[in-house]
Amino acid sequence: MKKLHLFLALAALAAAIVVPSFLKNYGIHLFTTWLVFIIATMGLNLTVGYAGQKSLGHAAFFGIGAYTVALFLKAGLSFWLGLPVAALLCFVVGLILGFPALRVQTIYLAFATLGFNTALWLVMRNEEWLTGGTFGINNIARPMLGSLSLDRNLPYYYLVLAFTLVLAALLWALLRSPWGKAFTALRDNPIRAESLGIDTRGYTLLSFAIGAVYAGIAGGLYASQVQFIDPALFTVGSSIMMYLMVVVGGPGYFFGPLLGSAVGVILPEWLRFAQAWYLLIFGTAVVLLMIWLPDGLLSLPDRLRARRQSRLESAARQAAAKQGARA
């Protein structure tokens, strides 16, 4: 990691620890939601940004995680049991969802995952005996950490922050391992990757499964945060919003989800002053961003570097041509 990156990461971490203690409840809630979506989109970034797959079904995993934890808590079981079960369930379902990716790609895969999200959303809405249907599940408890109560928003925020840091560290280590290179190879050139012995089937399935685990954990944390869930949170629209967060932040950039989730969670709050015009401003901002920075916000330094490099090379060529002409 470059020194500047390390400095920025440490500054962001310090801000994440200090700032919420000066915020009111709503501000803490907003920061917690931001962290939850950072976790969810870190997983989607692995699937989409690093492994090059298409998924418009991420909100379904977010929902599986949320409902699993909610049902565990409603049944009087521990959050600390519900969350690993949610993660495991998402891993298995994510693995299954990965199978269509072995047969179809690009927009067709996106539609396959979209269909999965719709089907799961229908289950959440219609199976009232299990999910509460459109009434959802309310009074979801906050967990205890030993004897420490996390009922207040600030301690719960720090729990979610701890999860975010641990999951980010795990993803960082995974992406720096040979798996990271295999995912990138799969994204950039699956035929070449296979010819080099990379098990493209295995890595495709794992990219979906691990991405789903992150969404499931995020969903579980979210259920306890808002203490009420209903199917409206887990629609295809939410999946598209998560995809947008990854694309806006920069797919394949480790810190992309940090910025993308800010755009998806914090920016709409800042635009509240615009009232009914908020969606128009938000949509226009996203369109302009996609035109100027199609690879996301974090691609800006790379683009500037490439432009400077091109200018330098052009100047060197011109100088060489002038020298040649003089000779």
Chain positions contacting other proteins, by CB under 8 A: 173-174, 176-182, 184-185, 188-189, 191-192, 194-200, 202, 252
* Residue 132 main-chain phi, psi, to 5 deg: 85, 0
Output the smallest distance, CB 178 to other proteins, in A.
Answer: 4
Q: Which is nearer to other proteins, 128 or 199 (CB)?
A: 199
Output the smallest distance, CB 300 to other proteins, in A.
Answer: 17
d(CA 38, CA 41): 5
**Closest to 83 in 3D by CA, of 159, 175, 135:** 159
The sign of the torsion formed by the CA atoms of 183, 184, 185, 190 equals positive
Q: Which is nearer to other proteins, 195 or 275 (CB)?
A: 195
Output the smallest distance, CB 202 to other proteins, in A.
Answer: 6
Q: Which is nearer to other proteins, 152 or 308 (CB)?
A: 308
- The alpha carbon of 268 is separated from its chain's Cα centroid by a whole number of angstroms, namely 17
Output the smallest distance, CB 173 to other proteins, in A.
Answer: 5
Output the smallest distance, CB 28 to other proteins, in A.
Answer: 34
DSSP string, 22-66: GS-HHHHHHHHHHHHHHHHHHHHIIIIIIT----S-HHHHHHHHH
Q: Which is nearer to other proteins, 18 or 191 (CB)?
A: 191
**Closest to 256 in 3D by CA, of 17, 27, 47:** 47
Output the smallest distance, CB 50 to other proteins, in A.
Answer: 11
DSSP string, 294-322: TT-GGGHHHHHHHHHHHHHHHHHHHHHHH
Residue 143 DSSP label: P
Q: Which is nearer to other proteins, 19 or 166 (CB)?
A: 166
Q: Which is nearer to other proteins, 37 or 179 (CB)?
A: 179
